[in-house]
Amino acid sequence: MSENTDTRRYMRVQWQRLALVVAVLVVLWLCLRLFSSIMMPFVVAAGLAYFLDPVVARLERLGIRRVLGTLLVVLAFGTIVILFVLLLYPVIMAQASAFISNLPTYIQTVQTDFAKLMRNVQHRLPYSLRIKLQDLASNQASSLVTYIGKTATNIIGSGFAVVNVLTLLIVTPIITFYFLRDWPSIVRHVDGWLPRPYEGLIRAQAVEINRILSAWIRGQAICCLALAAIYGIGLTIIGLDLGLIVGLAAGVLSFIPYVGTVLGAITATLLSLSQHPGWNGIISVLAVFAIGQGLNDYVIQPRFLGDRVGLSAVWVIFALFAGGAAFGFLGIMLAVPVTATLGVIARFWLRRYLQSPLYLDAPPK
């Protein structure tokens, strides 16, 4: 009788724990859905605090108080970011000015080349198909103009987006300071909420998640910076207008595997065609991106990222697109941490399954 009572009590506790986990997940999902528009500064600040905490912890071990160390690290990080922007600002503005001044020439060149291409294509098409294509183009012209007008109106009227960017730049450093100052206290509180029978087990999985996340963030940041430097310098050397801007953007977007390289190559190719019609510019652009991607695949990524993170390129791409579809840019920022967490949990339960009677026991004869 006592054994049955203990079993029922144990099962009831297990169901209560499962219900608690499900309730926490539902609350987190509702918070993301309801407050996604205002959570960006908090998510960015939490990511920066996670990234900068080892530096503050090292200063604390050297005898510097946590508050002072946090203030010094935040100020140093902000100063580095500002100096980096100020150093790039003159070059970016010079390239942007040159592009704007040459824009009419580029447009005329594209129109001429496109008209020549269309004439060549039309000469090879039957007469009836040419008439249908002309009618289709004339019918869609008005709708295209209307769409462009609406898009321009939305862009011009999106002052709220500018306010959000300014809010992000002003509020994020403040939130980062408080997160970084209180990081050990936050970790202690969360650790104190763990169920005691599974404390060691959960902590071991948290250590594995932290190892994967820190390795991925550090390695991916180095890879993106290296690609941004290679693309930016390479496109500038071959004389492409806006080459530095396109190269830096392609490098930053390379946290999505191959997406930054492909988008950067397409954009740079189109700019090269508008600037210097012909194959020489296209070959130079493709050579820059081929060299950068080759160095990334065979030198940079194996050295700084490798296979130790446990996140394949396919899962990273899927997670980023799924997060973007579900929660927008906030989902993109949370995609990799969530994927790393789910990967650790999935591997843990897979190991448990492979050691369980459900997998090992033979059916009764």
Task: Find the mean pLDDT for residues 142-165.
Answer: 51
Task: State the number of CA atoms in the 13 A half-sphere of 72 facing the CB.
Answer: 12
Task: Find the mean pLDDT for residues 214-235.
Answer: 87
Q: Is the pLDDT of residue 288 over 90?
A: yes
pLDDT band at 153 (very low <50, low <70, confident <90, very high): low
pLDDT band at 158 (very low <50, low <70, confident <90, very high): very low
pLDDT tens across 51-79, in order?
889 999 999 999 899 999 999 999 999 89
Greater model confidence, 340 or 277: 340
Angle in degrees, 0-180, between the axes of helices 329-354 and 199-237, rounded to the nearest 10: 130
Q: Is the pLDDT of residue 230 over 90?
A: yes
pLDDT at 122: 64
Greater model confidence, 292 or 241: 292
Q: Residues 292, 293, 299, 305: is their CA dihedral positive or negative?
A: positive
Q: Is residue 298 a contact partner of residue 130, using CB atoms and an 8 Å limit? A: no
Q: Is the pLDDT of residue 103 over 80?
A: no
pLDDT at 178: 93
Instruction: Give the separation between CA 31 and CA 25, rounded to whole angstroms.
Output: 10
Q: Is residue 59 a contact partner of residue 72, using CB atoms and an 8 Å limit? A: yes
Mean residue pLDDT of the chain comes to 78
pLDDT at 67: 92
Q: What is the dihedral of CA 288, 292, 246, 145, to 10 degrees?
A: 80
Q: Is the pLDDT of residue 293 over 80?
A: yes
pLDDT band at 135 (very low <50, low <70, confident <90, very high): low
pLDDT tens across 15-60, in order?
776 787 788 888 888 877 777 777 888 888 888 898 889 999 999 9
Q: Is the pLDDT of residue 108 over 80?
A: no
The structure's pTM equals 0.70
DSSP 193-249: TS-GGGHHHHHHHHHHHHHHHHHHHHHHHHHHHHHHHHHHHHHHHTT-TTHHHHHHH
Which two structure tokens, joined as six digits, stand for 141?
Answer: 């012209």
Instruction: Give the separation between CA 63 and CA 216, rounded to whole angstroms.
Output: 30
pLDDT tens across 85-102, in order?
788 778 777 777 777 777
pLDDT at 114: 63
Q: Is the pLDDT of residue 156 over 60?
A: no
pLDDT at 307: 60
Task: Find the mean pLDDT for residues 270-285.
Answer: 82
pLDDT band at 289 (very low <50, low <70, confident <90, very high): very high
pLDDT at 146: 59
pLDDT at 155: 44
pLDDT at 147: 55
Instruction: Give the separation between CA 209 and CA 211, rounded to whole angstroms.
Output: 5
Which of 173-177, 258-262, 331-335 bottoms out in mean pLDDT, i.e. has the lowest? Answer: 331-335
The percent of residues above 90 in pLDDT, for the chain, comes to 14
Which of 4-18, 132-146, 217-231, 279-293 bottoms out in mean pLDDT, i.e. has the lowest? Answer: 132-146
Task: Specify the amino acid at residue 204.
Answer: A
Task: Find the mean pLDDT for residues 328-339.
Answer: 80
